[in-house]
Amino acid sequence: MPPVTVSTTGASDARVVLEARKITKTFPGVIANQDVDLTLHHGEIHCLLGENGAGKSTLMNVLYGLYRPDSGEILVRGEPVSFDSSSDAIARGIGMVHQHFQLIPTFTVAENVALGHETSHRGRLDLDVTRERIADIAVRYGLAVDPDAVVGELSVGVQQRIELIKALERDAEILILDEPTAVLTPGEVDDFFEVVRTLVDKGKSIVFITHKLREVLAVADRISVLRGGRTVGHADPKTSTEQDLANLMVGRDVVFAVDKAPSKPGVPELTLRDVSITDSRGVETVRSLDLQVRRGEIYGIAGVEGNGQRELVEAVTGMRTPSAGTISLGDEDITHRTPRHIADLGVGHVPEDRNRHGVVGSFSVAENSVLNQYHQRPFSSRLLRRDQPIRAWATTLVSQFDIRTPGIDVLVSTLSGGNQQKVIVAREMSRPELRLLVVAQPTRGLDVGSIEFIHSRIVEMRDAGVAVLLVSAELDEILSLSDRIGVMYRGELAGEFDRADTSREEVGLLMASGKQEEART
């Protein structure tokens, strides 16, 4: 164990524990990293900032031994190393927490931590050693967790803690955290930052990958920015602003505030009356909800994920039937209508999970552009698909929505996440006679440029008189887009505000109220 440095943030000293020199890594047709340098000092949090596709994950996978660089050098504590696999990296004290957890949900915490280097006793699995080590880590780093809890039953925040424990249990001194906050709620993020600071105080060194500017400024000791596979700059969090970092990351001036005029709401378009919804497990996730969205306004639903937003969206779009109450679109009762019927009434739906619902990855851009309109004129006539109108439509959407694709015959799965999302947004916003647009997590995982674009399109739709129901776990997104805000908490509307009369703090507090029992296990 290295000597314990007791201090608050910024506890780095001059010792370099990890250094990457001129790392270049290419994939067929793509230069993922070109001459990238990275220096990690002992006891610091080094944030690596960049848009999706900037090469952050590639660099981390190189450092963790998952990719072999084409050229360049890696030094651990001044010593040149060459990793053939992640186990070489682990042996050198490097641990990584992936964005997507590498946990087996049906195993207990101890079993997951032991996975890969289990201690056995005459062929029998012996988890006592692991349990002791987990307890030890819990005390030292404040990472309390029950070793015998089944992972699948724990919250996402706790699961992430287990990932950290896994790395620490293997004596990692250098931790690579790949977008660790992407899956966390605002409250969990704060807890997570606390843990990260404790780790650094206890002598660990951390590379923290993110594209969220607020977090970078909150947690980093130093910042490096990647763009297009190159290091484009370094920044000091004490003297930088979010605007500086965004400009550096995107390479041009970024407009942060969504430019929008005051809303001119018209008559109610979507009305929910006393709606209750039961999810697939039989749990009532939405309880007696009343809600109204008017033409020409954006109604934002804020809330920590899992408070019934998903079921609400499914009910409005016909994918789930409410157990009680009525949903109407204009004058028509759509409570028991099918998704097809509701969509054909002029309801666009940008779904939360774009790969699961929004696109078919193995279909072309053209086929995806009519995924839910293929049966209508002019895309079909008498049960036959009509190729030319479909292609013409897809071509129009690609140019109108600036979808970056080599062509309309390209498979959607080969596009970046941002462009896949643009395919969906384009399709849903271009519906004929659009009346209601239901948008769930529209910019999740997208880069700044795509977020800007999608936000401005949502506002355009509103200005054209469409009623917009926006559901997002990103409080900033809700605040910057919505005209009215409803906060969902445990399936109920805990509060409703006019955007002009509320603050980030007020909404945030309401979102978080009652999160106590979730925070600690």
Which residues lie near other proteins (CB under 8 A)?
318-319, 338-341, 343-344, 349, 351, 356-363, 367, 371-372, 374-375, 380, 383-385, 387-388, 391-392, 394-395, 406-409, 411, 413-414
List of residues 6+ apart from 381 with CB closer than 8 A: none
List own/partner pairs for 498-507 with CB under 8 A and 24 or more apart: 499/300, 504/475, 504/479, 507/302, 507/475, 507/478, 507/479
Shortest approach of other proteins to residue 7 CB, angstroms?
Answer: 47
Instruction: Output 156 or 319, the one with its CB closest to other proteins.
Output: 319
Shortest approach of other proteins to residue 471 CB, angstroms?
Answer: 15
Alpha helices in 327-440, H assignment, sequence order: 339-344, 365-369, 387-400, 417-429
Shortest approach of other proteins to residue 164 CB, angstroms?
Answer: 30
Q: Give the span between the Cα atoms of 326 and 363, in whole angstroms.
A: 36
Strand locations in 61-213 (E): 71-76, 79-81, 94-97, 120-121, 124-125, 174-178, 205-210
Instruction: Output 187 or 339, the one with its CB closest to other proteins.
Output: 339
Q: Give the span between the Cα atoms of 266 and 292, in whole angstroms.
A: 12
Instruction: Output 47 or 424, the one with its CB closest to other proteins.
Output: 424
> Is the Cα dihedral 91, 92, 93, 97 positive or negative?
negative
Instruction: Output 301 or 412, the one with its CB closest to other proteins.
Output: 412
Phi and psi, residue 414, nearest 5°: -85, -10
Instruction: Output 247 or 372, the one with its CB closest to other proteins.
Output: 372
Whether residue 170 contacts residue 137, with contact meaning beta carbons closer than 8 Å, is answered with: no
Shortest approach of other proteins to residue 372 CB, angstroms?
Answer: 4
Shortest approach of other proteins to residue 405 CB, angstroms?
Answer: 8
Shortest approach of other proteins to residue 425 CB, angstroms?
Answer: 14
The angle that helices 448-463 and 242-250 make with each other, rounded to 10 degrees, is: 100
Q: Which two tokens stand for residue 70?
A: 């084409």
Q: Give the span between the Cα atoms of 63 and 50, in whole angstroms.
A: 17
Q: Give the span between the Cα atoms of 110 and 126, in whole angstroms.
A: 10
Least Cα distance to 43 among 6, 82, 98 occurs for 6
Instruction: Output 166 or 320, the one with its CB closest to other proteins.
Output: 320
Instruction: Output 264 or 341, the one with its CB closest to other proteins.
Output: 341
Instruction: Output 68 or 340, the one with its CB closest to other proteins.
Output: 340
Shortest approach of other proteins to residue 408 CB, angstroms?
Answer: 6
Whether residue 465 contacts residue 266, with contact meaning beta carbons closer than 8 Å, is answered with: yes
Whether residue 213 contacts residue 240, with contact meaning beta carbons closer than 8 Å, is answered with: no
323: left (phi over 0), alpha (psi -120 to 50) or beta: alpha
Whether residue 519 contacts residue 188, with contact meaning beta carbons closer than 8 Å, is answered with: yes
Q: Give the span between the Cα atoms of 299 and 496, in whole angstroms.
A: 10
Angle at 209 between CA 473 and CA 444, to 5 degrees: 25
Shortest approach of other proteins to residue 77 CB, angstroms?
Answer: 38
* Helix, strand, coil % over all residues of the chain, rounded to 5: 35, 25, 40
Instruction: Output 150 or 392, the one with its CB closest to other proteins.
Output: 392
Instruction: Output 325 or 348, the one with its CB closest to other proteins.
Output: 348
Shortest approach of other proteins to residue 396 CB, angstroms?
Answer: 9
Q: Which helix (H) or strand (E) holds 255?
A: none
Instruction: Output 100 or 356, the one with its CB closest to other proteins.
Output: 356
Task: Encode 292-342 in three state secondary structure.
Answer: EEECCCEEEEECCCCCCHHHHHHHHCCCCCCCEEEEEECCEECCCCCHHHH
The angle that helices 186-201 and 156-169 make with each other, rounded to 10 degrees, is: 20
Shortest approach of other proteins to residue 383 CB, angstroms?
Answer: 5
Shortest approach of other proteins to residue 26 CB, angstroms?
Answer: 15
Q: Which helix (H) or strand (E) holds 29?
A: none
Instruction: Output 6 or 383, the one with its CB closest to other proteins.
Output: 383
Shortest approach of other proteins to residue 104 CB, angstroms?
Answer: 16
